[in-house]
Structure 1
Amino acid sequence: MPVKADKRLILVAGQSNCVGKGDASLSIGVMPGIAFEYTYIGDRLKPLLDPVGVDELHFQQAETGSAWPAFAQTINRLTGDTIIIVAAARGGSSNHEKAELEGMGTWATGGKMPLFEDAVKKVKAAMKKTGLPLSAVVWVQGERDANAINSGELSPAAYENSLRGLIERFRSALQANTPFFLVKTGYYSQHSKTGFDLVRAAQTKVAQSLDQVYIAFEKTNTFPERQLMVDAIHYNQQALNELGEAVAVNLVRTLHLPQQTKVEPSFRINGITEFQVRGGLPHFCRKSLNGDTVRVAYIGGSITQLDERYRRQATNLIRQQFPKARLVEIAAGIPGTDADLGACRVKEQVLIHHPDLVFIEFAVNGGFPQGVEGIIRQVKQANNQTDICLLYAATADQLNSYVQGKLLPHIQQLEVLADHYQIPSVHLALYPGWMLAQQKLTAKGSEKTKADKVVFTADGVHPLKQGGNLYAAAIARLLKQVVVAEAHHSMHSLSSLPPAQYADNWEDASWVNPEGNVRFSEAWAPVPMQDSLKQFAPWFSQAMAAEQVGASGTIRFEGDAVGLFDIGGPEVGQLRLSLDGKEISVVPDGGVRYRIAEGGSPIINRFNAYCNNRYRGQFFILQVPKGKHELTFRIDKQIPDKRKILGEQQQDDINRHLAKYAHTKIYIGKILVKGKIR
């Protein structure tokens, strides 16, 4: 029979490891509605998420991660109970007045800061606000007293008596026999362990001698050797998560709280659920659980290309979740590109490696649905047992859409595809949006600035390492549900490929090398990927380059789109196009896709605002009526207005190096075709 869930008010108190010196981006994401934090200022309850705590009544806020989201989430998972945390901790505070440091405070009576009185005041206000009794106290303290024992300022017996007295004073002030859960004190690197061992022994004695006082966690002394510290004395977020979960399990078992089998809920705000499992990832999951070699591919833009924007963290979390598996990562990110180029390159960059799971991330760069469908269909045509998952990242500005419960139109289109093919999808930015709404995250800022919030991006687009941690955690939460679904045999990928959602999808897209597939005029020559071009070596074995006005190349193809993947830089110029022997003019048709139109531009300019003193991969695609065609491109004589394109803030380099910009050079690395080269 289902057990009726309860509400429980819990005081967490002590010194800095109770405050938390972890990393909120690695903290456990608590689902809305299952845990709250009481704040004395404003007399209100707010959703529990790191950084937990408030700078009030001499207490402190976590900097930035703590143990308490993991603690609350675990109790809820085991019991269904709603947890209300009263945070009352201060870094450096002592238990005994003889151990008090100037400005740090003590929990003893008569100290310079009324920490005990403040904690009682805060708990009583929370009890009045919620109508709940105090269910338990979790005490995380002792380092300051251990150092005082080491220095001879305090005796072990005096510390033991002060701890016993603290518990009795709390019970006298709040509620007789309130259960106390003690977290044993850890070690301080390069300091004598003697004082810390004596404090740990005293904590054991107090738990043995007082009714309803328990040791809730004692492995803190292993954290240094396990490299789970942020500094000499403070636990890192992995340690805090472990501590919080273990204390919660101990509390539930010790108090004999009614337990129930409860699947961890999906994160959901304003009608948007963080992920959809749909048909799941059955083949990847089974191979991973069996300990086989699994190949995980990531295809997307710069967010996928850069190591710590989410990809590297996600790979690490997958390894943690499936420790028996031998995981091979396949990285296929190219900055500034959408799924049209992705569909052209997926065979060569991803499918050649025979992946078991492919993550597709193009939402920030447009999320071109025909291109995404082309990638899906190419993956499934290569191997129907390869699993796929769509990832939706977001810019800093787009976080507010999630806060308002609005899915961006291009993500709605991708969700239709995910439904059609029954593949999972993850809103990577939903939890960051929730943190932003709760004023726990800064959407755009500097990672160098010490902040009491997670800094999501520096440029508004690319997540910093903390933002990438949040993205990876969303993927990890999906994978947990996938494992649950596998245990219940509820994952079923489509046995055959359904009809395409878009008739003009890009499943027949590819890229080819220009040499041998283009008829070049004599002015063109191959150039190696060296010096300023060496960053393109992963994509191009070489490029074809020319600068002579009128230098041309002709592509014969059958299909409905063709284009060039070229290289930008200070010296590049522009092209004129002819189709089937006639010069054409074009207009933009989404992203870097163009269509033929009268009154359009006869020029395709290859110099853009990113070409100031550096090279960047770029591409354009011309969409044409389906059929057999011949496209000719020629270098135009006119140099584009590079000053105007670069804008006022990028004039310095062009002023100092006029000659570098006075060119019309074109580099071609790949030919893109939706169809086939003839």
Structure 2
Amino acid sequence: MSVPRISVLAALLLSAVSVQAQQRPDRVGPADPSAAVSVSPAPTLSGYDFFIVAGQSNAKGQGDARSSLRPDVGEGYAISRTGEISLLEDPFGNAETGSAWPAFAKAYTARTGRGVIMIPMAKPGTIQYRNPWVQDGKHWDVRYPDNLYDYSSELAADAYVVAEASLPDVRFGGWLWIQGGADAIAVYEGRQSMQDYEEAYHRMARKVYQDWGGPVMHIVTGGWTGGEVPEGVQLREVQNAADALDEVVVVYSDAYRFAQIGWHVDEVHWDQRGLNEAGTQAGDAAGRWAMGEGGTNPGPEPEPEPEPEPTESLVIAPNPSVGSPPTITAACKVRYAIFDSMGRRLLKGKSNRDGEIDLPNRAPSGQYSIQVRPVVDDPACVQETATFTIIN
């Protein structure tokens, strides 16, 4: 099967990062305070959890605010990079129109009874691993001083102080993360390896946990409507596997389906249906984790367990037997037939439900064969033929 090509639109994901690192572009700048409607918080809940939203363009959101969900008044707030507090609704932060985050907050509050305050730090086109083609300040690789994690974390720490002063019982909720498309393309184009990506991702997750005392809450990256590439599948496998780390909680992993069912606005960006679904499921999973209930998103639907390979399970002991017939036991209830050395059928019947076959106490010396077959289909029990010897 031929590997589908990355289309022009998908390649644009990498355009912001695949240029020579010769000039330093502007990094994520502070939001314009006049763009946010500052409100005096009127909390209706006893506590609020602080989330940092980071990653690429689907973390930012390109949905439709008209179809976006909305937390109840007093339950969800947004805070800008300059400390402006507003109601949590779309367009959230720097979203084009709609995002996943009001839906996340609504589900999280429903599960935990705690409100949400979020700061938007997503940056489209950014990459996890800083390969030689990545532009300065366009990556999340914490080995380098121009990485976006440190920059975002510093701004978020300042915003956290404002949140604590404005709302009751503020706690860190998690680092909400949707990213990976740029790295999948970079691996596809031979600019880096999947191991490079995995190590960079794990480094950042450890840094989040070290700095904030909480995990990366990961919504696993989606797919492409123009055709999947193996590197995209492999990258999602790496992301799902990170759920085994203490520093990562995978809260949603089915976004790859959105390309299959048409929940995209273009080749790579989810529409509001996808954003609402990802946000709702991730918010509920994050809430279960916060409540200590476990049961966070377990990853993609597992492949059906293969049926066990049939094994020979007919037990004849002792064999040969002296003075009396052997004990014969099958793995399940079976029909059986016994033949002499000339191939003549001497006996037939059914075992008991435990597979035990009773033979006559008196049987002449000789070699015999037995054929068994299950009474009902049972993958652990098969049709078999065996031989045994009686010596009198």
| Code of the aligned partner of 2:87 | P
Structure 1: distance between partners of 2:257 and 2:98: 20
Which residue of structure 1 aligns with residue 234 of structure 2?
198
| Code of the aligned partner of 2:284 | V
Which residue of structure 2 aligns with residue 72 of structure 1?
105
Is the 2:70–2:88 contact (alpha carbons within 8 Å) kept by the matching residues of 1? no
Is the 1:12–1:88 contact (alpha carbons within 8 Å) kept by the matching residues of 2? yes
Structure 1: distance between partners of 2:146 and 2:133: 10
* Two-structure CA RMSD over aligned residues (Å): 2.1
Mapping of residues 290-369 of structure 1, within 5 Å: none
Q: Secondary structure in 1 aligned to 2:261?
A: coil
Q: Are residues 1:144 and 2:158 paired?
A: no
Change (3 A) 1:255 1:99: farther
Which residue of structure 1 aligns with residue 192 of structure 2?
154
Structure 2: distance between partners of 1:207 and 1:225: 24
| Code of the aligned partner of 2:212 | Q
Is the 2:81–2:119 contact (alpha carbons within 8 Å) kept by the matching residues of 1? no
Q: Are residues 1:10 and 2:51 paired?
A: yes
Structure 2: distance between partners of 1:234 and 1:103: 25
The correspondence for 1:247, drawn from 279, 282, 294, is: 282
Which whole-Å deviations, capped at 9, do the CAs of 1:469-507 have from their partners, x for residues lacking one? xxxxxxxxxxxxxxxxxxxxxxxxxxxxxxxxxxxxxxx
Aligned residues: 244
Mapping of residues 398-417 of structure 1, within 5 Å: none
Structure 1: distance between partners of 2:76 and 2:187: 38
Q: Secondary structure in 1 aligned to 2:176?
A: strand
Quote the offset at 1:190 in angstroms: 2.7
Structure 2: distance between partners of 1:199 and 1:102: 22
Is the 1:163–1:206 contact (alpha carbons within 8 Å) kept by the matching residues of 2? no
| Code of the aligned partner of 1:171 | Y
| Structure 2: tracts of 5 or more residues without a match | 1-44, 165-169, 294-392
Task: Considering Cα pairs closer than 8 Å and 6+ residues apart, tell me whether 1 or 2 has the greater RCO.
Answer: 2
Change (3 A) 1:79 1:100: farther
The correspondence for 2:207, drawn from 162, 169, 178, is: 169
Structure 2: distance between partners of 1:190 and 1:83: 36
Change (3 A) 1:104 1:243: farther
Higher strand share: 1
Is the 1:86–1:122 contact (alpha carbons within 8 Å) kept by the matching residues of 2? no
Q: Secondary structure in 2 aligned to 1:89?
A: coil
| Code of the aligned partner of 1:200 | R
The correspondence for 2:88, drawn from 48, 55, 72, is: 48
Q: Are residues 1:126 and 2:184 paired?
A: no
Which residue of structure 2 aligns with residue 256 of structure 1?
291
Quote the offset at 1:159 in angstroms: 0.7
Structure 1: distance between partners of 2:154 and 2:255: 30
| Structure 1: tracts of 5 or more residues without a match | 54-60, 259-678
Is the 2:111–2:288 contact (alpha carbons within 8 Å) kept by the matching residues of 1? no
Structure 2: distance between partners of 1:44 and 1:68: 17
Is the 1:223–1:235 contact (alpha carbons within 8 Å) kept by the matching residues of 2? yes
The correspondence for 2:259, drawn from 199, 202, 224, is: 224
Which whole-Å deviations, capped at 9, do the CAs of 1:221-271 have from their partners, x for residues lacking one? 11111100000000000000000000011011122269xxxxxxxxxxxxx
Structure 2: distance between partners of 1:9 and 1:227: 32
Which residue of structure 1 aligns with residue 96 of structure 2?
63
Normalization by structure 2: what TM-score? Answer: 0.59
Quote the offset at 1:160 in angstroms: 0.6
Q: Secondary structure in 2 aligned to 1:11?
A: strand
| Code of the aligned partner of 2:266 | D
Is the 1:150–1:192 contact (alpha carbons within 8 Å) kept by the matching residues of 2? no
Q: Are residues 1:236 and 2:277 paired?
A: no
Which whole-Å deviations, capped at 9, do the CAs of 1:421-449 have from their partners, x for residues lacking one? xxxxxxxxxxxxxxxxxxxxxxxxxxxxx
Q: Are residues 1:25 and 2:66 paired?
A: yes
Change (3 A) 1:148 1:175: same
The correspondence for 1:213, drawn from 240, 244, 248, is: 248
Mapping of residues 450-529 of structure 1, within 5 Å: none
Is the 1:91–1:104 contact (alpha carbons within 8 Å) kept by the matching residues of 2? no
Quote the offset at 1:187 in angstroms: 1.1
| Code of the aligned partner of 2:150 | E
Structure 2: distance between partners of 1:110 and 1:255: 30
